[in-house]
């Protein structure tokens, strides 16, 4: 079983720590990446951590994860609420797939409340800020272990 996990981050997440810290916290994406790489190493996972502001790039990366048979954690950010191309690409993923949000999208305004991605993922983690990322990696490791055990 492939032990690679793609952690893909959508638009404006490169501005974490500076953009609306009252919603998204003060932790930068670079700090989150460092935590993810450390957690992945502890879990014997390979981590591909990426961020893009461009929908087509996100689709390409999801397809790359699919081609590699990699697990995927995605924080689709603004793509969550309208991007059919990202949604359709996620439908390709056969390995464990987790949607992640820093904020509790269910408690936000109507525009930011309903992710169209949630119906195609194994699980959704939201509202835990930067702490959601290492928890998502732990969940991916558990899902991969369950998949390994069933084969």
Extract the annotated binding site for substrate. Answer: 75, 88, 102-103
Reported as half-sphere exposure (CB side, CA atoms, 13 A), residue 5 has a value of 30
Cβ–Cβ under 8 Å, residues 77 and 35? no
- Tokens for 22, please give them: 């009252």
Catalytic residue positions? 24, 101
| CA nearest neighbour of 126 among 113, 109, 111 | 113
In the chain, DSSP finds a helix count (H) and a strand count (E) of 5, 5
Cβ–Cβ under 8 Å, residues 70 and 5? yes
């Amino acid at each position: 079983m492939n032990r690679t996990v793609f952690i893909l981050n959508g638009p404006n997440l490169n501005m974490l720590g500076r953009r609306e810290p009252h919603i998204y916290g003060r932790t930068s994406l670079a700090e989150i990446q460092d935590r993810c790489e450390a957690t992945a190493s502890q879990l014997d996972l390979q981590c591909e951590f990426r961020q893009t502001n461009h929908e087509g790039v996100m689709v390409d990366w999801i397809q790359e994860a699919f081609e590699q048979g990699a697990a995927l954690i995605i924080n689709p950010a603004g793509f969550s609420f309208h991007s059919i191309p990202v949604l359709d690409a996620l439908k390709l993923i056969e390995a464990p797939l987790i949607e992640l949000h820093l904020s509790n999208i269910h408690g936000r305004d109507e525009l930011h409340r309903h992710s169209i991605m949630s119906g195609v993922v194994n699980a959704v983690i939201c509202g835990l800020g930067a702490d959601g990322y290492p928890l998502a990696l732990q969940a991916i490791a558990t899902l991969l272990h369950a998949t390994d055990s069933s084969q």
